[in-house]
Chains A and B, each alone.
Chain A
Amino acid sequence: MMTDKMRKVLYHLYMGSFLFYLLVPLVIMSGAAFNNNKTPSVYPWKGFSWQWFIELWNDGTMWTSFGNTIWVALAVVALAVPLGTAGAILINSVTGMTRSVLYFFMVAPILAPGAVIGISTILFWNKLSVPVGLHLSVLGQVSYIAAFVMLLVLARLQSFDQNLEEAALDLGATHNQVLRRILLPHLYPAIGAGAAIAFFQSIENFNVTLFTRGTQNTLTVYVFSKVRSGITPSINALAFMLIALTLIAALVYELRRRRQAALEAAREEEGRRASDAEIA
């Protein structure tokens, strides 16, 4: 019979090894960025070197791909946020069958394979004589990324008090003012979160982009083509910098969260002491 304590130790151990499993590949990948070896590897170790970072810095294709990635992501945000928000407002105002059908068409692309989204996008725009290129990558990505924005805004709309809008109208506000001064400010947190998710989803995207990009590169496609056609550790240098950036962001976030938690705890303590004093 296992005691509770033993079970808990086992759980901690398992959690530890799970984190090890998730993070060690990233450590190995980063390590290979500093190995003075032509193929990316940490074993055997041939000495410390910065050369792969220099090679990455001088790689023009990488910089173009990087720029393209950012442009595509910004365009996706600019389109997905208004489309998703409008979709959420519309779907929130209808009920029954119409709602289910609209919801189905909006959400289904999240579950569709990216390759199929990419292919259907180029086939459709080809019929309208629009050539392939990153503009189609934007449209293909928006088709499913707008759904993430829609879901976030829709959830936020549930906590919206519609009486506020009625009050504003009664007091003589115009329709534009109702939207700008009452509804949108309530939705901003969801819209902001939606924009962030849209941005990162776009940066991550590979499947849709591969089929729609034509001959242009984004960062994920560039990494992919490098992995296929003889790779040098400059990709590891890129990976290392991305991981370092992630770690710094995570660390800042964690420190801020802890400070906030500590502040709240202190305030609660203060409040309890105050009420204790009152009773006494």
Chain B
Amino acid sequence: MGELLKRYGGTLTGAFILLTGFWLLMLIILPNLALFETSFRPYLPVVDMGGPLDTYSVNNYAKFFESPGPMSIFGLELSIPLRAQTFINTVFYSIIVTVVAFVFSYPIAFYLAKVVRPKSVPTLILLLFIPLWVSEALRAFAWYIILTLNGPLNAVLVGMGVLEKAVRWQQGVLTNYDAIVIGLVYNYILFMLFPIYNAMTSLDSNQIEAAQDLGAPAWKTHLRIVLPHSKPGIASGSVMVFMLAAGSLLVPTTLGSTRSNWFTQTIQQAMLESQDWNTGAAYSFLYLLLCTVVVFGVMRLFKVRLSDIAR
């Protein structure tokens, strides 16, 4: 801090502190405190605000645990509150999306880092980037077209004889969330691919060759050398994809049906449809808590730091 004063003087140092302070306080810390505070207050008409009814309670959070319904988890028939069901489904399918994205992008990352001629890498990366430049709303919409009942996917599958007749992907075939998972993987797979690729480029190819020379089969080379080395990239990609998937509102609304609810939709209904900002705040806070748990959990699991993830 003294360094700053010496180099830039009082006025400029003050400006740096003021700007950073505005960012952290007015845009990050105070809004989150407002969220926290609002979530404990009741939803009241304007005249009653600040009146005797305006007291702190956990009623908004209690709504999360209302109206139980049947749900089966790994074959167990349980009675779980509807909103909690949505919450569980969102987390579960976001994990599926993350795993699928990892499985499909890992070979590509390895291909780009170690297999293909280094000369073609920039061209390939440019090609991979093209979908990223097209907005998320449109990427989701593209799958909406592909998956509709009379759409090209059904036409091709029926034409090839894979399916007997067209299916309603958006209603779900295997699970209620098929179309959402397909859309989320397509939208976010590159956020998994690039961190893993970045981590792999720093791996010395001699290590792979040494393993092969010593007779290690390919799967063992990956398991013992490539995978451990790409760990920071995998952690970073997984956190990114999980957060993006769980936080997505566009994809579940565009590709989902009435049978598939995403937790962001629950929040949106409270905020924008019922205009009940207090309940919306409570749900948002629960969501923030979940995200924090996931990020720190993954960081612990992979033994990486926040600065490794945010790059």
List residues of chain A with CB under 8 Å of any chain B CB.
2, 7-8, 11-12, 14-15, 18-19, 21-23, 25-26, 28-29, 32, 40-44, 82-84, 86-87, 89-90, 93-94, 102-117, 119-127, 139-140, 142-143, 146-147, 151, 162, 165-166, 169, 174-176, 178-179, 200, 203-204, 206-207, 210-211, 219-220, 223-224, 227-228, 231, 235-236, 238-239, 242-243, 246-247, 249-250, 253-254, 257
Contact B267 A115 (CB under 8 A): yes
Within 8 A of A (CB), among B205-222: 218
Q: Determine which of A103, A120, A227, A257 lies in contact with B141 in the assembled complex, contact meaning CB atoms within 8 Å.
A: A227
Residue numbers in A under 8 Å from B291 (CB-CB): 111-113, 116
Contact A123 B135 (CB under 8 A): no
Contact B23 A253 (CB under 8 A): no
Per-position contact with A for B9-49: 1 when CB-CB < 8 Å, else 0?
A: 10110011101101110111111111100100000000000
Contact A124 B34 (CB under 8 A): yes
Contact B20 A83 (CB under 8 A): yes
Contact A43 B137 (CB under 8 A): no
Contact B19 A220 (CB under 8 A): no
Question: Interface segment, B54-62, B225-233, B302-310?
Answer: B302-310
Q: A42 to B151, alpha carbons, bound, how many Å?
A: 8
Contact A123 B307 (CB under 8 A): no
Q: A162 to B4, alpha carbons, bound, how many Å?
A: 11
B5 CB → nearest A CB, Å? 9
List residues of chain B with CB under 8 Å of any chain A CB.
1, 3-4, 6-9, 11-12, 15-17, 19-20, 22-24, 26-35, 38, 104, 107-108, 111, 115-116, 122-124, 126-131, 133-146, 148, 150-152, 155, 186, 218, 239, 243, 246-250, 253-254, 264, 267-268, 271-272, 277, 280-281, 284-285, 287-288, 291, 295, 306-307, 309-311
Q: A52 to B250, alpha carbons, bound, how many Å?
A: 23
B40 CB → nearest A CB, Å? 12
Q: Determine which of A21, A103, A175, A242 lies in contact with B7 in the assembled complex, contact meaning CB atoms within 8 Å.
A: A175
Counting chain A CB atoms within 10 Å of each CB, which of B6, B7, B38, B272 scores highest? B7
Given contacts A89-B16, A103-B306, A105-B29, contact A246 B130 (CB under 8 A): yes
